[in-house]
């Protein structure tokens, strides 16, 4: 019996390595870098880490304060008979109110005929106050927040009246530029699902809360989306996401964390904690860095693409289901959630290339040619070294 291809490859590799080590003088390896790393001490590294953490905590505290103020504005003149889909606070001046209302209503109507104000609302308010950074005496204080013209946060029903998801849209000014910025940013986010499909069923709600609504943060299913992103996006997938893409059993459900939401009776600790989704917060569940996302940087589009794929009517049955999300999706769409997620990953990030194969004839030619090439390559070096003595 002949040897297997793996043994042929191992033998040829060993021969080539031995010949290379004998004939070729390999230089000492040196680390490659774009620029030399600055010399730091462990103490300085620790201080830098603490400073970064303190800055993130300060930013998060500011965002929490902003959301609390927004909810206070929303509650001030809210009545039990309030059924408006778009509501503008009294702080928004009249010259900006008409344009702002039209822009928000346009995005609201784009969700389709199923949209209703029974479980969602967009609230626009004006808040131009700034919170200064801590600074030394004599320095001009600077604002702690960035220079964005608007902020959007999404208060889930547990943070509002128990029945509605409210998109809290903060205008940082009332100029035409501030109002026009509303047109360039999605304003409905996760609240779009509540507007179009109502409150989620117990099973789906538990799963959404366990994953902090990370797969339902975009509701622009009426907008065409490119089928794939750049090739490097494959490297943003988590280990479970990679297993899902390669077709390993259970990989997709692990990436979706479906098994973590098995309890369907009553609120879980995760559901109690998930009250506000704030993309502007530096502690945005770690999702500011796409490498921490199980299904890559596009995972917030997953359920919006599901609406596009199976249609609003079937998705509504999934959304309102009291079953686990994998069983609910199979019942509503006729395809398993595991299989559909794998197809979604392939459409979004592209297919994996075929694994390369080695033929026996190629190995034999390599075994014959490689030692000759190495021998010829070594000869000139020996002659040069001899002439310089």
Spatial distance between the Cα atoms of 194 and 88, rounded to a whole number of angstroms: 20
Same domain, 182 and 114: yes
- Say if 235 falls within a structural domain: yes
In this predicted structure, what is the pLDDT of residue 298? 84
pLDDT of residue 1: 47
Beta bridge partners of 124: 88, 169
CB 225 within 8 A of CB 287: no
> 270 and 325: one domain?
yes
**Residue 339 falls within a domain, yes or no?**
yes
Does position 104 have pLDDT exceeding 80, yes or no?
yes
- What would the mean pLDDT of 360-366 be, rounded to a whole number? 70
- Structurally, the chain folds into a number of domains equal to 2
Q: What is the mean predicted confidence (pLDDT) over 146-174?
A: 89
* Tokens matching residue 351: 């297919």
**Are 173 and 302 in a shared domain?**
no
pTM of the model: 0.74
User: Do 161 and 239 fall within a single domain?
Assistant: no
pLDDT: which is higher, 335 or 138: 335
Looking at the fold, whether 160 and 270 belong to one and the same domain comes out as: no
pLDDT digits (tens, 9 = 90+) for 25-71: 555 555 555 555 566 678 887 888 888 888 778 777 888 888 888 88
Q: Are 97 and 194 in the same domain?
A: yes
How confident is the model over 82-103, as pLDDT tens digits? 778 999 998 899 989 999 999 9
Q: Which residues of 357-376 are buried (b: 16+ CB within 10 A; e: fewer)?
A: eeeeeebeebeeeebeeeee
| pLDDT tens-digit map of 281-300 | 654 444 444 446 788 888 88
> Tell me: the pLDDT tens digits for 193-203?
999 999 999 99
pLDDT of amino acid 363:
67
Do residue 65 and residue 187 come from a single domain?
yes
Which of 2-11, 112-121, 185-194, 220-229 is predicted least confidently?
A: 2-11
For residue 344, CA distances in Å to 261, 299, 303 come to: 22, 10, 10
**Domain encompassing residue 260:** 201-215+223-353
Buried b (16+ CB within 10 A) or exposed e, 310-328: bebebbbbbbbbebbbbeb
Q: Give the pLDDT score at 369.
A: 73
């Amino acid at each position: 019996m002949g040897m297997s291809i793996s043994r042929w490859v191992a033998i040829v590799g060993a021969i080539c390595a031995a010949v290379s080590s004998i004939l070729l003088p390999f230089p000492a390896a040196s680390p490659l870098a774009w620029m030399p790393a600055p010399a730091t001490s462990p103490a300085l590294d620790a201080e830098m880490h603490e400073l970064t953490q303190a800055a993130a905590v300060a930013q998060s505290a500011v965002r929490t304060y902003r959301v609390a103020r927004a909810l206070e504005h929303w509650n001030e003149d809210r009545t039990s008979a309030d059924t408006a889909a778009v509501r503008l606070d009294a702080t928004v001046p009249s010259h900006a109110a008409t344009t702002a209302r039209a822009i928000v209503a346009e995005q609201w109507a784009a969700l389709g005929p199923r949209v209703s104000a029974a479980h969602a609302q967009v609230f626009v308010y004006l808040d131009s106050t700034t919170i200064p950074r801590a600074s030394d005496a004599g320095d001009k204080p600077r604002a702690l927040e960035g220079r964005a013209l608007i902020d959007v946060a999404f208060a889930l029903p547990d943070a509002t009246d128990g029945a509605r998801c409210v998109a809290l849209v903060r205008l940082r000014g009332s100029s035409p530029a501030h109002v026009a910025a509303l047109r360039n940013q999605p304003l409905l986010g996760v609240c779009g699902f509540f507007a179009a499909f109502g409150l989620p069923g117990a099973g789906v709600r538990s799963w959404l809360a366990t994953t902090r609504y990370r797969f339902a943060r975009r509701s622009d299913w009426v907008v065409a989306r490119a089928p794939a992103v750049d090739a490097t996006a494959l490297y943003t997938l988590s280990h479970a996401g990679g297993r899902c893409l390669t077709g390993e059993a259970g990989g997709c459900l692990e990436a979706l964390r479906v098994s973590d939401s098995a309890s369907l009776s009553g609120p879980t600790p995760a559901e109690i904690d998930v009250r506000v989704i704030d993309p502007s917060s530096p502690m945005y569940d770690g999702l500011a860095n796409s490498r921490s996302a199980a299904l890559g940087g596009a995972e917030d589009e997953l359920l919006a693409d599901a609406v596009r794929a199976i249609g609003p009517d079937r998705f509504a049955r999934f959304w309102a289901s009291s079953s686990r999300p994998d069983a609910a999706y199979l019942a509503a769409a006729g395809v398993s959630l595991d299989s559909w997620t794998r197809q979604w990953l392939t459409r979004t990030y592209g297919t994996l290339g075929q694994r390369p194969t080695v033929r026996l004839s190629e190995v034999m030619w390599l075994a014959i040619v490689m030692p000759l090439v190495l021998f010829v390559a070594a000869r000139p070096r020996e002659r040069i070294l001899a002439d310089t003595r």
